[in-house]
Amino acid sequence: MKLSEIAMELAGTKLTGDADIGGLCADSRVAGEGDLFFCFQGTKTDAHNYAAEAVARGAAAVLCEREISVSCPQLIVEDAREGMARACAAFCGHPERAMRMVGVTGTNGKTTTAAMIANILNEAGVAAGVIGTLGAVYGNVHVPPSLTTPDPVCLYPLLQEMAEAGMKAVVMEVSAHALALKKEAPIFFDVAVFTNLSQDHLDFFGSMQAYAAAKKRLFTRQKCACAVLNADDAFGRSLEGEAPETITYGLETPADAFAVVESDTLRGCKAVLNVHDELCEATIALTGRHNLSNALAAACAAKRLGAHADAVARGLGKTHVDGRLEWTAKYHGADIFVDFAHTPDGLEKSLCALREHCAGRLIVVFGCGGNRDADKREKMGAVAARCADLSVITSDNPRYEDPCSIIAAIEAGHRACSREYVVMEERERAIAYAVGLLAEGDVLLVAGKGGETYQEIMGIKYDYNDKAVIEKLVGKS
């Protein structure tokens, strides 16, 4: 593809020459012959400084925000982040236009809701893929996870592969980071889903107002045809009227879609969903009212795309999400769950869901990630103190921080509410300790990592998985 052809699809550009573009690259260290190299201001460094290296490795042209000293054509744009996304989409033949696009955003629940929507659509005969925290899945293909919303140089080629594989719809988790960095700029979503808003990622956004503003970008008339909004969430209610069409859902607040619970157990619930007066009896094999809320969101989105009640019921019944309040083992009469909950709101919802069905003690093992929103650490400690009978505070992904300093911040919040906790920095040892305490009727929640298969320490990702540790401890093969 010619650089000039890409330039024609971007507004307000300056082109200093033309070139044949054979690939896309945002990392100068892996630039190859014929690549278009993207220069933008990153969070830590400016890629303009690495353009010469990319050209030396064979890059045929650069997309940049200012003219630089390199011996190749330059496509100069006002916003290189947006320009990169639009250039990648154009280079890949705009696969986002060939499929029905569903975007799911919210602090918690994105992965589960996206999986539910994709399952329902597949049951309705609409071949659907999903992209998110657990990677990408379409047909029999599974792409390992990288970011919740992949960077444009990966995202649009992935969408191209999905379209070529016959996918008719794609359900994407759209993170606040992705919206702030304009990864989704070329995509117009047929349906955009909002799950909830609570504290997270303030290390990046600085304030809840900025975090909320990033989420709001998905629900404008320029970005989606229909918004599916959580009426039980104040920010969700504030989004009404932003999109051309709005569908609301709620368990506590009057809404277009609601549910009546028929039975509720530790392993899931059976409920009747009412979506615009179409009734659907569904069995949801996921614990907690928040997962029933996710199911309502999924039903609304899928119905908007043509799925009927029978497909909704089948799709929800088949949804099992790795590491999302997932029952993992039975030991000494106690139930053990693993969950990705890594925010105060997420941890509280999971603990409260388990408390409803806990006849004995509710025990939680958790930590907080390093080099991330430090303000939530004390809050998570306080949540655990209020909602669990005993907390085992441990390490999560400390990254480049001292695990002991992270744990000390969690302790401060916990100690202000309860001293029923112990500290064990080594995560595997902490889980072993908690498992050793279990008795008939107890429930153990191991929170924070969910289905992650690594623990990140000082820039190295070591093989590690909470479920594997638990299965080894309770004697499963």
**pLDDT one-digit tens code per residue, 182-204:** 999 999 999 999 999 999 999 99
- 97 DSSP 8-state letter: G
pLDDT at 279 over 80: yes
pLDDT for position 476: 57
Residues 232, 456: Cα–Cα separation, whole Å: 35
Angle in degrees, 0-180, between the axes of helices 466-474 and 427-436, rounded to the nearest 10: 40
- CA-CA distance, 156 to 145, in Å (whole number)? 15
Predicted TM-score (pTM) of the model is: 0.95
86-124, pLDDT tens digit by residue?
A: 999 999 999 999 999 999 999 999 999 999 999 999 999
Edge-to-edge strand order for the sheet containing 74-76? 14-15, 74-76, 61-64, 35-38, 23-25
Give the integer Cα–Cα distance in Å for 156 and 139: 18
**pLDDT score of 93:** 98
pLDDT in tens, 419-476: 999 999 999 999 999 999 999 999 999 999 999 999 999 999 999 999 999 999 998 5
Query: What pLDDT, on the 0 to 100 scale, is given for residue 42?
Result: 84
- The percentage of the chain sitting over the pLDDT mark of 90, rounded to a whole number, equals 98
Strand ranges (DSSP E) for 144-288? 169-173, 191-194, 226-230, 245-249, 257-265, 268-275, 278-284
**Mean of pLDDT values over 27-32:** 96
Using alpha carbons, list the distances in angstroms from residue 34 to 37, 44, 86, 403: 9, 27, 19, 44
Mean pLDDT of all residues in 158-162? 98
Distance of alpha carbon 217 from alpha carbon 424, whole angstroms: 41
Question: Do 85 and 184 contact (CB within 8 A), yes or no?
Answer: yes
Measured distance CA(74)–CA(471) in Å, rounded? 55
Q: What is the mean pLDDT of residues 265-284?
A: 95
Tell me what pLDDT residue 146 has: 87
Rounded to whole angstroms, the Cα distance separating 283 from 272 reads: 9
DSSP string of 6-47? HHTTSSS-EES---B--EEES-GGG--TTEEEE--B-SS-BG
362 backbone dihedrals φ, ψ, rounded to 5°:
-100, 115
Within 10 angstroms of residue 164's Cβ, the number of other Cβ atoms is 11
Of 214, 216, 217, nearest to 206 (Cα)? 214
CB-CB contact of 30 with 90 (8 Å): no
3-state secondary structure of 175: coil
Task: Give 325's contacts (C-beta < 8 A, 6+ positions apart).
Answer: 286, 287, 288, 291, 337, 339, 341, 350, 353, 354
Read off the pLDDT of residues 303-334 as tens digits, 9 standing for 90 and up.
999 999 999 999 999 999 999 999 999 999 99
> Is residue 187 packed enough to be buried (19+ CB in 10 Å), middle (13-18) or exposed (0-12)?
buried
CB neighbour list of residue 83: distance below 8 Å, 6 or more residues apart: 10, 13, 38, 63, 75, 77
Mean pLDDT of the chain: 97
- Main-chain dihedrals φ then ψ at residue 260, nearest 5 degrees: -120, 120
129: Cα separation from own chain's centroid: 15
**Contacts for 409 with CB less than 8 Å, ≥ 6 apart:** 368, 374, 377, 378, 381
| Rounded-to-integer distance, Cα 389 and Cα 352, Å | 12
* Residue 258 near residue 252 (C-beta atoms within 8 A): no
If you average pLDDT over residues 257-271, what whole number do you get?
96
User: Residue 436 class from Cβ within 10 Å (0-12 exposed, 13-18 middle, 19+ buried)?
Assistant: exposed
**How far, in Å, CA of 249 to CA of 229, rounded?**
6
pLDDT > 70? residue 477: no
- The pLDDT tens digits of the residues spanning 333-356 come to 999 999 999 999 999 999 999 999
Across 45-65, average pLDDT: 96
Q: What percent of the chain has pLDDT over 70?
A: 100
241-247: long-range contacts, CB 8 A cutoff, minimum separation 24: 242/216, 243/192, 243/219, 247/276, 247/300, 247/304
Q: Which residues of 2-19 are buried (b: 16+ CB within 10 A; e: fewer)?
A: ebeebbeebeebebeeeb
Residue-wise pLDDT for 368-422, tens only, equals 999 999 999 999 999 999 999 999 999 999 999 999 999 999 999 999 999 999 9
Q: Greatest CA separation found in the chain?
A: 73
Pairing mode of beta strands 23-25, 191-194: unpaired
The amino acid at residue 371 is: N
